[in-house]
């Protein structure tokens, strides 16, 4: 058998060793490969995969993108026909077969073959090849762009897409993510409608004599971008995007409903010593759906208030001077820039 540049055979009956568990399945497989030092290192790179920063000249400017050599998948017959176990570590490497001493390891007797134990695990993110996230527009058109894929995933479908039958996907993050883990935590805040804004529905329409609390729901969302080469950290984009809203639909969330609160880069070294980052972005998602029967998402620059002209309570846009051209509480930026290297 062959995977990338490594030829291997499986050692049976000792392999595979499988463990099945909810969201924690694991498989150990033992492979026999050529045993010189260069072959062992290349086999590890082939099976575990890695990320690298590459460049291309686009419209006369050098642009940078993240290219990923994806880890080796185990193919099982799933309902979706998709891989879900990927090589994540090689916990054991055992030389077999003795030859001349290895010049890279002079204190050991040489080996012409090696028995590798490769561990496969389920992951919290999607593993996809570069070809799955090629940008159709923008500075990286035709090249891998994970930010563009997030902004345009699932044909740009909204989280508000109507589900008409079982199996319909109303949430783009189920199909459009690559090396991104998403966590969502519900929340809410109370707004107090001032005294007299509400009336009793008893025929008298008497104003309620005290303020009434109204819950405005929101979601705190954590997006972690995994295994980003340290030179590909979008430092400028992340710094400038703090406290801003998404200027267009992003990952299915309508424009201006996502507020970037902060970000945390966590540095470490990958299996081959390269410096990489896991970058966590924390967003506050406030749909603020209109109460006119349409459920239109208004976002962070709209506030709940009583409208005397209609006698109803709904979300109203706010700005510095009360006009649509005035300065809103939150400005908007392109959140796709958070998931790609800073560009020229």
Among 123, 141, 142, CA closest to 49: 123
CA–CA gap between residue 196 and residue 30 (Å, rounded): 74
Cβ atoms of 247 and 258 closer than 8 Å: no
- SS3 of 59-112: the string is CCEEEEEEEEECCCEECCCCCCCCCCEEEEEEEEEEEEEECCCECCECCCCCEE
pLDDT per residue rounded down to tens, the chain (344 residues): 899 999 999 888 888 899 999 888 999 999 999 877 788 899 999 999 999 999 999 888 899 999 999 999 998 756 555 788 999 999 998 888 765 555 665 555 556 788 999 999 999 999 999 999 999 998 899 999 999 999 987 555 677 766 666 555 556 666 668 999 999 999 988 888 887 778 889 988 888 888 888 888 999 999 999 999 999 999 999 999 999 999 999 998 999 999 999 999 999 999 999 999 999 999 999 999 999 889 999 999 999 888 888 888 899 999 999 999 999 999 999 999 999 999 97
Among 255, 262, 239, 184, CA closest to 217: 184
Biggest CA–CA distance in the chain, Å, is 100
End-to-end CA distance of the chain: 43
Does an H or E element contain 38, and which?
helix 37-48
Q: Positive or negative CA dihedral for 301, 304, 306, 310?
A: positive
- SS3 of 319-339: the string is CCCCCCCCCCCCCEECHHHHH
């Amino acid at each position: 058998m062959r995977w990338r540049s490594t030829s291997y055979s499986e050692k049976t009956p000792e392999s595979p060793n499988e463990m099945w568990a909810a969201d924690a399945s694991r498989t150990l497989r033992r492979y026999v490969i050529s045993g010189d030092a260069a072959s062992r290192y290349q086999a590890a790179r082939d099976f575990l995969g890695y990320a690298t920063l590459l460049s291309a000249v686009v419209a006369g400017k050098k642009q940078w993108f993240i290219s990923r050599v994806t880890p080796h998948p185990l193919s099982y017959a799933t309902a979706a026909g998709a891989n879900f176990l990927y090589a994540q570590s090689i916990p054991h490497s055992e030389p077999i077969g003795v030859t001349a001493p290895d010049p890279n390891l002079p204190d050991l007797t040489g080996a012409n073959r090696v028995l590798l134990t490769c561990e496969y695990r389920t992951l919290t993110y999607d593993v996809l090849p570069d070809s799955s996230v090629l940008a159709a527009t923008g500075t990286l058109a035709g090249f891998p762009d994970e930010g563009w894929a997030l902004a345009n995933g699932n044909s740009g479908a909204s989280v508000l897409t109507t589900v008409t039958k079982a199996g319909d996907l109303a949430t783009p993050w189920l199909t459009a993510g690559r090396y991104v883990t998403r966590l969502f935590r519900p929340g809410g805040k109370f707004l107090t409608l001032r005294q007299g804004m509400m009336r009793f529905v008893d025929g008298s329409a008497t104003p309620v004599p005290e303020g009434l609390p109204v819950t405005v729901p929101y979601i705190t969302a954590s997006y972690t971008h995994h295994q980003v080469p340290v030179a590909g950290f979008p430092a400028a984009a992340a710094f400038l995007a703090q406290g801003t809203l998404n200027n267009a639909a992003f990952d299915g969330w309508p424009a201006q409903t996502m507020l970037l609160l902060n970000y945390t880069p966590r540095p470490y070294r990958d299996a081959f010593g390269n410096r990489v980052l896991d970058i966590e972005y924390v967003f506050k998602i406030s749909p603020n759906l209109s109460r006119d029967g349409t459920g239109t998402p208004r976002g962070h620059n709209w506030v709940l208030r009583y409208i005397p002209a209609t006698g109803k309570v709904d979300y109203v846009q706010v700005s510095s001077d009360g006009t649509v051209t005035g300065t809103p509480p939150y400005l908007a930026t392109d959140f796709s820039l958070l998931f790609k290297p800073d560009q020229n």
